[in-house]
Amino acid sequence: MRGGDRSRFASERVSGFTESVIREMTRLALRHGAVNLAQGFPDFPAPTEVKEAARRAIAADINQYAITWGSKHLRDAIAAKYKRTYGVELDPEREITVCCGSTEGMMASLLAVTNPGDEIIIFQPYYENYGPDAKLCGAARRFVSLHPPGWRFDPDELRAAFTSKTKAIILNSPNNPTGKVFTSEELAMVASHCREHDCLAITDEIYEHILYDGAQHIPLMTLDGMRERTLLVNSMSKTWSVTGWRVGWVIAPPDITGSVRKVHDFLTVGAAAPLQEAGAVALSLPEEYYIQLAESYRGRRDRLITILRECGFTLYPPRGAYYIMASVERSGFNDDVAYVRHLIETARVAAVPGSSFFESKTDGTALIRFCFCKKYETLDLAGERLRRSLLS
Ligand SMILES: Cc1ncc(COP(=O)(O)O)c(C=O)c1O
C-alpha cells in the first residue's frame, strides 16, 4: 500500500463524526467483565410466539426479498394495530414503509424531507443518533433544553427555535435518555408551532408501550392538523425485545411516504423477509401483552431505583422508556466520562456518561444514564457490585 495522506479518503460527511460513546462504554464493559447497564438491549428472551413465527417463516422459505416497502402481512398488521390502539386509519399501500429498524426509519425520513441548509429542532438531552442523522443530511440543528427534575422545556425557547428555515422537529416520547413522556399540553404546543411554521414533525415512538405511573402515550400524529405533517418512526426492537432483528417502520402521508420509500429502497432494499412475517404475528398479540410488558418494566425500574438510591445517587425516575438518569454531583468526580470509566473498572458496572446526550460535551457532565432492560438477577448483581464499591 502506498503511503501519503489517506484522510482524503474520508468523506467530509464522516470526518465530523465521533465514535458512539455508548458503544465505546460497551466495549470497555466487556473488557472488564462489567454488568452492562449502558446499552439498551434486553438480556432476557423475546416472546416465544414471535420467535416461533420467525422459525416458521424460514422453514416456509420466506427467504427472498420482500416487497421493498414491506411485506403486505406486516403492513396490514401495522395498520390494524394503529387502528386498535389509537383509532388511526392508515392505508398500508400508501402510508407505511417497513425498514431496517427505526434507525434506518429516522435516517430515511430525514434524507427524504430535508435539504442542506434546512434546520431541524431537537430536544436536548437527546438520543445520540439524531446528531449524525442531521449531519448526514447537511441539516443544521437547533436545540431546545429539557430541564430536570421534570424535564420540562421553556415554551419561549421552543417558540424561538422555529425559524423560516425549520423543516422539522424531532420528538422522542417516551424519551431516551430522560424517561420523559410529553404531556398533551406540551404536544399541543409543538403541534401549534409546526402548523404555524408549516413544518414537519418526525416522532420516534419506539418506547410507546413502556409507560409507568399512569403515563399515557399520545402520538403527535393524532393531534389536529398533524396527520399531514407527521412522520412516525417505530420498530419491533423495544416492544418485542428483538433489537437485533432490525425491523422498523415509518408512517407518513402518501406524498412523503413516496419520498421515504425512494431513499429506503436505495439504502437497504428491505428488512429481513422472515422477520417481517414474525413482525406481523408480534403486532397482532392481544392487548394483555403490552400491559404485561409495561408492568414487567415497572418492576425492573423500581428495583434499580432502590439499588441506586441505596448507593447514594440522586435520581430522576422515568415515566416511560427503560433508562434512569442519575446525578453524580456527589461522586467527587466532575467529569462524567471519567466517572463511568471508574465505575466500569472498579465497581464493574457500566453506565453511559450524560454528556453523550448533549451537543456540547461540557453539558450533562453531572449526569449518567443506567438502563434496566435486564433480568432481575443482572440488576441485583449490579446492585451488589455498586454497594461493595461505593458503600464500603
Ligand atoms: C430513542 C431511540 N430511537 C431509536 C433507537 C434504535 O432503534 P432500532 O433498534 O429500531 O433501530 C433507540 C435504541 O436505543 C432509541 O433509544
pLDDT in tens, 152-197: 999 999 999 999 999 999 999 999 999 999 999 999 999 999 999 9
Atom of ligand 1 nearest to the CA of 103: 11
C-alpha cell of 161? 427555535
- Mutational pocket test of ligand 1: of 20, 103, 210, 372, the residue with most ligand atoms within 8 Å of the beta carbon: 103
Output the pLDDT for position 3. 63
pLDDT digits (tens, 9 = 90+) for 108-141: 999 999 999 999 999 999 999 999 999 999 999 9
**Confidence check: pLDDT of 2 > 70:** no
- Ligand 1 atom with the shortest distance to the CA of 175: 1
- How confident is the model over 193-217, as a mean pLDDT? 98
Indicate if ligand 1 lies below 6 Å from the C-beta of 282.
Answer: no
Neighbours of 224 (CB within 10 A): 9
> Terminus-to-terminus CA distance in the chain, angstroms?
55
Ligand 1 binding pocket includes 234 (Cβ within 6 Å)? no
The protein residue whose alpha carbon is closest to atom 16 in ligand 1 is 176
pLDDT band of residue 262 (cuts 50, 70, 90) is: very high
**C-beta of 356 in contact with ligand 1 (< 6 A):** no
What percent of the chain shows pLDDT beyond 70? 99
pLDDT for 302 beyond 60: yes
Question: How far apart (Å, rounded) are the C-alpha atoms in residues 392 and 375?
Answer: 25
**Spatial CB neighbours of 148, under 8 Å, sequence gap ≥ 6:** 178, 316, 325, 327
The counts of H helices and E strands in the chain are 14, 13
User: Does 172 contact ligand 1 (Cβ within 6 A)?
Assistant: yes
Q: Model pTM greater than 0.75?
A: yes
pLDDT band of residue 244 (cuts 50, 70, 90) is very high
Give the ranges where 213-272 is alpha helix by DSSP (H).
236-239, 254-268
CA separation for the pair 267, 290 (Å, rounded): 32
What residue type is 251 in one-letter code? I
Q: Is the CB of 241 under 6 A from ligand 1?
A: no
| pLDDT tens-digit series, residues 4-62 | 788 888 888 887 787 778 878 888 999 999 999 998 899 999 999 999 999 999 999 99
- Model pLDDT, residue 191: 98
Mean confidence (pLDDT) of the chain:
95
> CA-to-CA distance for 128 and 153, rounded, in angstroms?
19
Taking residue 168's Cβ as centre, other Cβ atoms within 10 Å add up to 24
Length of the chain: 392
Tell me which residue of 127, 146, 100, 144 sits closest to 21, measured CA to CA. 127
| Whether the CB of 105 sits within 6 Å of ligand 1 | no
- The rounded Å distance from CA 4 to ligand 1 centre is 39
Q: Are 297 and 210 in contact (CB under 8 A)?
A: yes
Instruction: List pLDDT tens digits, range 320-377.
Output: 999 999 998 877 778 899 999 999 999 999 999 999 999 998 999 999 999 999 999 9
Model confidence at 378, pLDDT cuts 50, 70, 90, reads very high
Q: CA-to-CA distance for 210 and 291, rounded, in angstroms?
A: 9
